[in-house]
Structure 1
Amino acid sequence: MNAPHDNGALRASLQALPRALRTLHKALIDVETVYFGAVGSALEHLHLITNHPHFAWLQPMSALMAALDEALDEPDKLSAQAAAGWRAAIEELVGPGAPDGTGFRAHYLVLLHDAPEVAMAHGALRQLLAPLPQRLR
């Protein structure tokens, strides 16, 4: 599939990513919560996700999602280079790019193989990344 070249196509391709990332992030949280055990109320669950060491490995993905949301809120034109940068940043987390060094990938790969909902969300994200331009090596 050809990479989108105009700003509208780039923006449309990038705007599909936050929903796919949130779906994947939720699937990861759901599986980790099952591994963790009973969490109590929704507020207690949120507190655990944001503060407990068991969930800390998810923080790089949370930060990336927030940064992408901020970037997409900007009315500025998006370059192919910027789109390639977002693709690379996501691929550093979920593959096939080189791991980002945070330890995210090791935990992620376990859940990718253990949880069908994570594998399905991963596949949906990969489909959205495919048409984005890649960084030149």
Structure 2
Amino acid sequence: MSDDLAKRAAELSTALRDLHKALIHAEAGDDPAYANPYTLLFDVIGNPRFAWLESLSQLIVVLDEARADKENFSAEILADAARSAGRLIGEGEDHDAPFRLRHLMAVQNAPDVAIATGKLRAALVRLT
């Protein structure tokens, strides 16, 4: 994997993880039960309240696993990940409508989500 490809993949991965974190905190809101980070972790894993984040979680895992395989990581894999990320936040005609709706609600209610979304969009632009 070239240094440039590795740098662009790392930027996308970081932007996706930052959005994921912001969305988790936005979904948790001010619920006092989530003051305990272990409660939050277990609910992110198993509570239906957070299930809508699964597609983003899976994208992060797929991208990071692919990045770890430096010999086989390619520009095509990165482009696929970028397209998947774009679909999640509403880019393209085949976007993920259920995720997009929840994402838009979070953008309106949580400035951290809006900032993380902007960083992801900027990363996606640099990949094109």
TM-score band by shorter chain is: 0.7 to 0.9
Q: Once the 2 structures are TM-superposed, how far is the Cα of residue 77 of structure 1 from its aligned partner?
A: 4.9
Partner SS state of residue 127, structure 2:
coil
Q: Once the 2 structures are TM-superposed, how far is the Cα of residue 90 of structure 1 from its aligned partner?
A: 0.5
1:3 aligned partner = none
Per-residue CA deviations over 1:30-60 (Å, capped at 9, x if unaligned) read: 111116x222522111111111111110111
The answer to whether the Cα contact below 8 Å between 1:58 and 1:104 also exists between their aligned partners in 2 is yes
Q: CA RMSD in A?
A: 1.8
1:127 to 122, 125, 128: 122
Aligned length: 126
Which amino acid letter does the alignment assign opposite residue 114 of structure 2? A
Which amino acid letter does the alignment assign opposite residue 96 of structure 2? D
1:22 to 5, 17, 20: 17
Q: Once the 2 structures are TM-superposed, how far is the Cα of residue 70 of structure 1 from its aligned partner?
A: 0.3
Bigger Cα displacement from structure 2, 40-49 vs 77-86: 77-86
Which amino acid letter does the alignment assign opposite residue 11 of structure 1? A
Asked if 1:80 is matched to 2:75, the reply is yes
The answer to whether the Cα contact below 8 Å between 1:57 and 1:104 also exists between their aligned partners in 2 is yes
Q: In proportion to residue count, which structure has more helix?
A: 2
Q: Once the 2 structures are TM-superposed, how far is the Cα of residue 132 of structure 1 from its aligned partner?
A: 1.2
What residue ranges of structure 2 are gaps of 5+ in the alignment?
none
Larger RCO (alpha carbons 8 Å, 6+ apart): 1
1:110 aligned partner = 105
Percent identical residues: 35
What residue ranges of structure 1 are gaps of 5+ in the alignment?
1-5
**Separation (CA, whole Å) in 2 of partners of 1:59 and 1:116:** 22
Per-residue CA deviations over 1:92-119 (Å, capped at 9, x if unaligned) read: 1112123136x21111111112221111
Q: Which has the larger radius of gyration?
A: 1
The answer to whether the Cα contact below 8 Å between 1:18 and 1:68 also exists between their aligned partners in 2 is yes
**Separation (CA, whole Å) in 2 of partners of 1:72 and 1:123:** 23
